[in-house]
Amino acid sequence: MKRSLARALLAACLPVASVAGAHATELGVYRGPGCEGKARMASFETFLGRKVDRTVDALAQTDWAGLDSSIDWLVGCWKDSGLKLTLSVPMMPRQNGGGFADGIAGKHDASFRHAATALVADGFPDAVVRLGWEFNGDWMPWASGPDPQGFVADFRHIVAVMRAVPGQHFRFEWTPNVGRHNADPEAAYPGDDVVDVVGMDVYDEYWTPDLADPQVRWQTFLDEPYGLHWHKAFALRHGKPIAYSEWGTGTRPDGHGAGDDPTFISGMADWFAASRPLYQSYWDNPSPEYNTLISTGQFPLSAKVFVARFGEGAPQAKAPAEQPATR
């Protein structure tokens, strides 16, 4: 998942009584890595009362050897699952990553070529590749804050390597975390020719007492610098669709998670209905860093709203209008 070092986030939501439908074009979920996640998908669909359309998963971030060894296993696990795949691809691992300079110099091109080749071979030539996600924080080794130009150059290089693999039709998602954190995300935008989708990760956390109230948190999510309103406006300026490949509410060991928060669930549902993203994926996982598992009853108020807004029989939001091609 992510965020052990995350700063001020936010969370929560509009009145639970909102009436708009909440299905994005595609509903996704993360249930765990690879074959573990695939085995757990049926129980989530039972909880929800409908099939999901997409899953999101991530290659290993330990070191280059671990990243390489995770590719065939993870992509192969989702083969023939019937789900679309969003694959989070680290720009470098946490150990011996080499930095942006090594990436720009092509020292690790083989790893990215391997990932692209596996996606095509296992039936995901149209996968969404979520490259270097949450770069505007300080918890990822590819954090853009110290060197936004390096981030941009490395991102562009990796996209070129993966697009050169025969048979691919990938869409590349550029994904800041909600809020400013340690960097201005706009300074690290790689360019319309290499970004197909403008994503955002949104987790229900807060770090100051003034954000303890759920509706205050939600309004902050909407209005803060680099919040949800910025996200939609930025994507529109660049002619790109939006997406939310990770979102959730839950508990953190440090006490900064919002817990059982139906206001947040309802607010996100309203936002999806109004902003019409291409896809959204709930992070349904009991991570030790942030336990957002909603499908087992530990957050009953949130779960009730989630099923009502996204489950079988919930009103369908309109499909997003396709944006004009920019490359």
State which amino acid sits at residue 8: A
Per-residue pLDDT of the chain (327 residues; tens, 9 = 90+): 444 333 333 333 333 333 334 444 699 999 999 999 999 999 999 999 999 999 999 999 999 999 999 999 999 999 999 999 999 999 999 999 999 999 999 999 999 999 999 999 999 999 999 999 999 999 999 999 999 999 999 999 999 999 999 999 999 999 999 998 989 999 999 999 999 999 999 999 998 999 999 999 999 999 999 999 999 999 999 999 999 999 999 999 999 999 999 999 999 999 999 999 999 999 999 999 999 999 999 999 999 999 999 998 776 656 565 544 444
For residue 308, the tally of other CB atoms under 10 A from its CB is 16
Residues 104, 313: Cα–Cα separation, whole Å: 48
- pLDDT, position 9: 33
At the fourth CATH level, the homologous superfamily of domain 26-310 is Glycosidases (3.20.20.80)
Domain map of the chain by residue range? 26-310
Short-list 14, 18, 20, 11, CA closest to 267:
14
Asked whether the beta carbons of 231 and 189 are under 8 A apart, the reply is no
3-state secondary structure of 35: helix
Q: In the numeric block, which tokens belong to residue 249?
A: 């509410």
Q: What is the 8-class DSSP label of residue 165?
A: S
Contact 247, 279 (CB under 8 A): no
Distance of CA 168 to the CA centre of its chain: 21
Beta strands in 118-191 (DSSP E): 128-131, 171-174
Q: List Cβ<8 Å contacts ≥24 apart for 256-260.
A: 256/9, 256/205, 256/206, 256/207, 257/204, 257/205, 257/290, 257/291, 258/11, 258/12, 258/204, 258/205, 258/206, 258/214, 258/217, 259/299, 260/298, 260/299, 260/300, 260/301, 260/302
pLDDT per residue over 102-120, tens digit each? Answer: 999 999 999 999 999 999 9
